[in-house]
Structure 1
Amino acid sequence: MRVFAACLLALFFTPDWVGEPRLPLMGRDAVIHAAPVSLDAQHPERNRVGALEWLGGVRLTSPDAAFGGFSSLHVASGRRITLLSDGGNIVQFTLGDDWRPRHIAFGDLPAGPGTGWSKVDRDSESMSVDPKDGSVVAGFETSNMLWRYTPDLRHALGSVAPRAMAAWPANEGAESFTFLPLARWGGGAITIGEQDPWPKGKGRAAIRFTGNPVTQPNRGFRFSFVPPPHYDPSDATILPDGRLIVLTRRFELPFTFSSKLVVIDRAAIRPGAVVHGREIATLAPPLIHENFEGIAATREGGRTIIWLVSDDNQSILQRSLLLKFRLDEPGAPKGVARP
């Protein structure tokens, strides 16, 4: 009887769950506040950094506890923006000329490498839309997997753990992932690891998939990307003219981030190549700076637009920033894409 009573007391006074708390999920009340930011707070008239012309930016906040931690983004026609966090949370909205988010929707990835209870189950660090069918592929760091979803991100279509990514460190995996267009590239995709090189290699391990990376994961070749000194790749995308642009970042004490954007010509990416690229802009103090982890490229009025989003790590010391630039490289004719 004493044992039975002790068990009842233990059940009564012990919380339902004493292990790791569940990964926060997005709520149904989709609210986003946007506050404008400047390229240079001390000199608000400044509108250029390297090859980028400043078009504006906002700090995004929400009363939803799961909001933030954005590691990748996609910008569709009509400025429909999709943000994916490193916990599998989805934020979608349309951004007007007044920078106010409208038609807001919150959600969560329906499936992933684990059960979805903890953050490591949904460590989604990259995302890209397949130009063939609109399906979305997300890269997961901890498991070194690629998962494919329907265009609305409501259903999983398949997944794979590519053999070439198997030895990538658990927290330094597919930080960058982008599909390649049929024009100039012939399709396929590119992924770049965050910190480690191939064995006895240089720079960062990278893979050029020549087919769909989920349905044909072991077709392609390896190459290496060498980022600027002390920087790590955090995302990549394809410019409208066919070049690859890689977003890199650096963290240094006391808690300061800086970012460099690097452009790579398509011809430089070959089997076994060691690719450096060309730096076109640096976001570092006194300019606006944060832990930028997502990049997207679009076209507006014949000009190339670059979007950046930052991962605030859901910390009160950091910000979720969405920035917009026009790519205006010296020597490139305005309104004409470079070959």
Structure 2
Amino acid sequence: MRLVLLFSALLTTAALAGPVPYQGGTRVSFTPLPAVSGAPAQKARYVGGYEVKGEGTSWLTGLSDLVVKPGKDGVMIDAIGDYGSRARFTLPVRGTEGPLSVEMLRAADGKPFGNKSLSDAEDMSVDPRDGSVYVSFEGDARVMRYGPDLGGPGERLPLTGLPALPSNEGLEALTLHLSTKGVASLILGAEVGGFWRCALDSYRCETLTGPTTPGFTYKLVSLAPLDPARPDEMLALYRFYLPVVGARNVLRVLRLEGNRLKVIDEILRIEPPLPIDNYEGVSAVKTHDGYRLYLISDPIGDDDPTHLLMFDYRP
């Protein structure tokens, strides 16, 4: 979500500030961020990061979430953004650039969404059983289901039991939950507050009792699975921003216990000297002794670079 302090500027410069489609061959480049010294020890250890820049298109902007999985040539990343775009690229094992695929998410009629309010994709989760991708939207608060490549028309889920949500503080967070009995549901969170569990066999949503935020003005921006072998545990990313302070983030591990989400651990705070930004997406990849965590930013300013950070977490 674009931050409130930028809202008026975006309204007056929308014709100039919005992204434009393909301008030629598209690629993505990765510029390593400077090394960090003096950062306090945390349960998730910072291992590096990059500025991520699209070449030949400006649709690689306003990224809200990512799903990461290992590949033979590097780490494969799918990301979605505020303008209804889907980006696919690889963080290479060697080198500093690679191919970039950018497409538009589509409505049920197969056409791109008509305006920013409809296009504002915020979080996504992949169903490991068939590869379906669930995407939550903030402006018109809803969840849509897509095929494995996020292509083709999306299906709007007929969810019931959700409250009316403010247009700019809607369904910011989503993750798929598979119970030990194989029951599938979506865990949803709103930036304005509140958690829900929505069964995928009935599309009925029930309210979950959730934790308070990590502090004043912190807001939930993403939910993500930690480990398929531990289905009741999930990552919860929160962000904070004040102009006189700057951006901050907190990453927690939550556990679903009945109808309650409980904080199990706080594993990370992103504050100076770590590279601060408006991080809105998190994804975890299992390693031989823990997890590699990836966080991606929706930059505070339109001309600011996208940041991709990496942390190692060993519970």
The normalised TM-score by structure 2 is: 0.83
The number of equivalent residue pairs is: 292
Three-state SS of the structure 2 residue aligned to 1:120 is helix
Q: Distance in 2 between matches of 1:56 and 1:99?
A: 15
Q: Distance in 1 between matches of 2:261 and 2:145?
A: 29
Residue 310 of structure 2 aligns to which amino acid in structure 1?
A: K
Q: In the superposition, relative to structure 1, how do residues 223 and 255 fare at CA in structure 2: closer, same or farther (>3 Å)? A: same
Is 1:226 the counterpart of 2:226? The answer is no
1:26-45 residue pairs with structure 2 within 5 A? 26-27=21-22, 29-38=25-34, 40=36, 43=37
Residue 285 of structure 2 aligns to which amino acid in structure 1?
A: T
Q: Name the structure 2 match of 1:174.
A: 171
Relative to its length, the structure with more strand (as a share) is 2
Residue 53 of structure 1 aligns to which amino acid in structure 2?
A: R
Deviations 1:171-220 (A, max 9, x none): 1111111112444874322111102xxxxxxxx210122x32xx632154
Q: Distance in 2 between matches of 1:123 and 1:60?
A: 21
Identity %: 23
CA RMSD of aligned residues (A): 2.7
Is the contact made by 1:251 and 1:257 (CA closer than 8 Å) also made in structure 2? yes
Q: In the superposition, relative to structure 1, how do residues 80 and 47 fare at CA in structure 2: closer, same or farther (>3 Å)? A: farther
Q: In the superposition, relative to structure 1, how do residues 132 and 236 fare at CA in structure 2: closer, same or farther (>3 Å)? A: same
Is the contact made by 2:173 and 2:190 (CA closer than 8 Å) also made in structure 1? yes
Gaps of 5+ in 1: 1-19, 196-203, 330-339
Larger Rg: 1
Is the contact made by 1:233 and 1:249 (CA closer than 8 Å) also made in structure 2? yes
Is the contact made by 1:144 and 1:166 (CA closer than 8 Å) also made in structure 2? no
Q: Distance in 2 between matches of 1:76 and 1:178?
A: 16
Q: In the superposition, relative to structure 1, how do residues 327 and 87 fare at CA in structure 2: closer, same or farther (>3 Å)? A: same
Is the contact made by 1:39 and 1:288 (CA closer than 8 Å) also made in structure 2? no
Three-state SS of the structure 1 residue aligned to 2:27 is coil
Is the contact made by 1:130 and 1:179 (CA closer than 8 Å) also made in structure 2? yes
Is 1:148 the counterpart of 2:145? The answer is yes
Q: Distance in 2 between matches of 1:83 and 1:266?
A: 26
Q: Name the structure 1 match of 2:11.
A: none
Is the contact made by 2:285 and 2:291 (CA closer than 8 Å) also made in structure 1? yes
1:311-322 residue pairs with structure 2 within 5 A? 311-312=298-299, 315-316=302-303, 318-322=304-308
Q: Distance in 2 between matches of 1:128 and 1:39?
A: 32
Is 1:298 the counterpart of 2:285? The answer is yes
Deviations 1:205-238 (A, max 9, x none): 10122x32xx632154433331111211110112
Q: Distance in 2 between matches of 1:290 and 1:145?
A: 27
The normalised TM-score by structure 1 is: 0.77
Gaps of 5+ in 2: 1-13
